[in-house]
Amino acid sequence: MPYPIQTTVGFGNVSLPGTAGTFVQLPNIPCDTIGFAKTAGDIRLAGSSSPGSNYLLLNTSASGQGANSNVAIPTGGNANNLWLANDTTSAQVVGFIWALRGAQPIVSAI
């Protein structure tokens, strides 16, 4: 009998310092994807703490269109595989939603 696919969803946040380009690791949360809320300023997304120019600039700014604030980003299994930095010089707290999907056996009390 196949197992149903279940999704667990949660919310988190990370504080970014007021220095553009200072990357902060996301917390240790087992998950498949994350998505970011609108932010005070655009954010940079990378796979390491010092990516040089190898980062993705996310247009999450509330003052702009916030076009990337509803994109599901794969994590490789854990949120701490990703690093965020400000693209501005103002400190901010960035909120995110995470999702973990997987087949779960149904436990019967019978």
Q: What is the pLDDT of residues 58-91, one digit of tens each?
A: 888 866 565 666 678 999 999 999 999 999 889 9
pLDDT at 109: 57
Inter-CA distances, 93 with 24, 54, 104, Å: 11, 23, 34
CB 102 within 8 A of CB 33: no
Interval 14-51: pLDDT, tens: 999 999 999 999 999 999 999 988 888 889 999 999 99
SS3 assignment, position 34 = strand
Tokens representing 65 are 């269109």
Instruction: Give the whole-angstrom CA distance, residue 107 versus residue 66.
Output: 42
What structural domains does the chain harbor? 5-102 (2.60.120)
Inter-CA distances, 35 with 79, 99, 104, Å: 11, 9, 23
pLDDT at 4: 75
Tokens representing 108 are 């019967």
